[in-house]
Structures are given as structure tokens and as C-alpha cells.
């Protein structure tokens, strides 16, 4: 069945030294958990060092972004080919990238393709903004984002989706377990319609937005929700460990 995943998106936080300290603090404890996929997504510059630190452990590594061209004159960008040897996962289409770096559905689509081509597993983020939610447009918005992100892509590999309502990110105002589960159910239905019932049943869909050790159980007890993409709380070892441990206990 669907193995739950807890992924930590550290965003633009931690120096290399701080990243190493954080991994050391969580590694020993997490080594004992074998029924949850644990993924750390530090800044690019720490991938190498953390890769060394987690060797032989069950912790996996992800990047927070990639550029869709493989190489060339794109100053400051990091490509799929560069990441392929360093990590297994890559977050694509995070709302902060859509908002601050003008990532369109087409760009996100190109990034998903680039990741899949080299065997990286995308964690595709979708989610509605507050005004869209209040206007009752959640379903329409996530459907459009899903369709544009995956347009023309026949094989999803192990692609995961993270449903992250923008109004819940970094605000302390998480969705309720029921709200998140309803929208995730809808996304799963869309995937089944776009691909097949089998793929809809197998694809892992995470919730993200103000998840903490205090509210994790509410999300993890929803059968539709396969884990979490955690921002702020993933920067604190005890919080991240708490979320992982509860997931391990609640999910079969
Ligand atoms: P917070 O957990 O800080 O709300 O961030 C969620 C997120 O954006 C994860 O990608």
C-alpha cells in the first residue's frame, strides 16, 4: 500500500554548519523507524554534506527546486543532472516559487519533466490562495494546477503530490484534517481520471501547511492523507521527530 512520507522543506534556512547539526540531532532517533519514508530537503549547498551524514540510514534527501534545462548559460541555476547523483527527490512548484519567482504551470510542467527524465522523484506542490478558498474555488484551482503541471506527461514514476493551501503555509493556521482530506480525495480522483484507477489509488498525496507535532495526529489519522510536507517545524529536531513518530504509530 502507500508508504507514508514525512518530508522536511527547510526553505532558505540553515548554513551548512547548522544543517549538519540539525541532521545529527534527528538521525539517531529516526534510524529506528522503518515504516515511514523520511526526506530532508535542505538548501542546495548542504545536499552534499548531508548526503554523507545520512549514508547507511533510512533518511532520504530531496532538493527544493531545479531548473528545467540540463546545462548551459543559466547563471545561478541548478539542473536535474546536477541533482541526480546527490538526492532522490525534488520539490517542484512550491507556492513560494509560484508567488515570488513567477513560476507558471508551464514552467512547473517543464521542471516535472526534467526531474522524471533523470530519475528524480518530484514532490509536486499545488494549493489554492486564501481569496480562492474564500470564493469557493479550491476545487477549480487545484484541478487546473494539477492538469497544467502534468500536461503531456504519460509516466509519473513515483511522483508525489503535496496539497499545500497557501493560506496555511507559515501562518499557524493549518487546514483541518477533514478539509485537507476532502481536497486530497478530490486530487486523487483527478489523478485517477487523468491516468487510471490504479495510479489514483497508488499515488501518495501529502498535506502541507503549519503541520506541527501538536496537530500531526489529526492529519495522519485521515486515510486519504499519506504524510506531510513540513516547513517551519522541520527545522526543530524535536518537532520533526514528533511528527515522524506519530505518523509511524498512526499509519498501518
Ligand atoms: P509551514 O509548515 O512552515 O507552514 O510550511 C509548509 C510548506 O510550505 C512546506 O513546503
230 CA → ligand 1 middle, Å: 5
**CA distance linking residue 239 with residue 223, whole number of Å:** 22
Quickly tell me which residue has 547563471 as its cell.
75
> Which tens digit of pLDDT belongs to each residue from 133-143?
999 999 999 99
User: Ligand 1: does its nearest atom lie under 6 Å from the Cβ of 105?
Assistant: no
- The catalytic position among 96, 164, 218, 224 is 164
Using alpha carbons, list the distances in angstroms from residue 188 to 182, 194, 225. 10, 10, 10
User: What is the gyration radius of the CA atoms in the chain, in angstroms?
Assistant: 17
The alpha carbon of 215 and the centre of ligand 1 are apart by a number of angstroms equal to 14
pLDDT in tens, 63-102: 999 999 999 999 999 999 999 999 999 999 999 999 999 9
**pTM greater than 0.95:** yes
Amino acid at each position: 500500500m502507500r508508504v507514508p512520507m514525512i518530508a522536511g522543506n527547510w526553505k532558505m534556512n540553515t548554513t551548512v554548519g547548522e544543517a549538519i547539526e540539525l541532521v545529527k540531532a534527528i538521525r539517531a532517533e529516526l534510524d529506528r523507524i522503518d515504516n515511514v519514508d523520511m526526506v530532508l530537503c535542505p538548501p542546495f549547498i548542504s545536499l552534499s554534506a548531508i548526503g554523507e551524514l545520512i549514508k547507511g540510514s533510512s533518511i532520504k534527501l530531496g532538493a527544493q527546486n531545479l531548473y528545467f534545462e540540463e546545462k548551459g548559460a543559466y547563471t545561478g541555476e541548478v539542473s536535474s543532472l546536477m541533482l541526480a547523483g546527490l538526492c532522490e527527490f525534488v520539490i517542484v512548484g512550491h507556492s513560494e516559487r509560484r508567488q515570488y519567482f513567477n513560476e507558471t504551470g508551464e514552467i512547473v510542467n517543464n521542471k516535472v519533466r526534467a526531474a522524471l527524465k533523470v530519475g528524480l522523484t518530484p514532490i509536486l506542490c499545488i494549493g489554492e490562495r486564501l481569496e480562492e478558498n474564500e470564493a469557493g474555488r479550491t476545487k477549480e484551482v487545484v484541478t487546473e494546477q494539477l492538469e497544467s503541471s502534468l500536461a503531456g506527461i504519460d509516466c509519473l514514476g513515483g511522483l508525489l503530490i503535496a496539497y499545500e493551501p497557501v493560506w496555511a503555509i507559515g501562518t499557524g493556521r493549518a487546514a483541518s484534517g477533514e478539509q485537507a482530506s476532502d481536497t486530497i480525495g478530490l486530487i486523487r480522483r483527478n489523478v485517477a481520471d487523468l491516468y487510471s484507477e490504479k495510479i489514483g489509488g497508488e499515488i501518495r498525496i501529502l498535506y502541507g501547511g503549519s503541520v506541527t507535532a501538536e496537530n500531526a495526529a489529526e492529519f495522519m489519522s485521515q486515510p486519504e492523507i499519506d504524510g506531510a510536507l513540513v516547513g517551519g517545524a522541520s527545522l526543530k529536531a524535536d518537532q520533526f521527530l514528533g511528527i515522524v513518530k506519530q505518523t509511524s504509530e498512526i499509519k498501518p
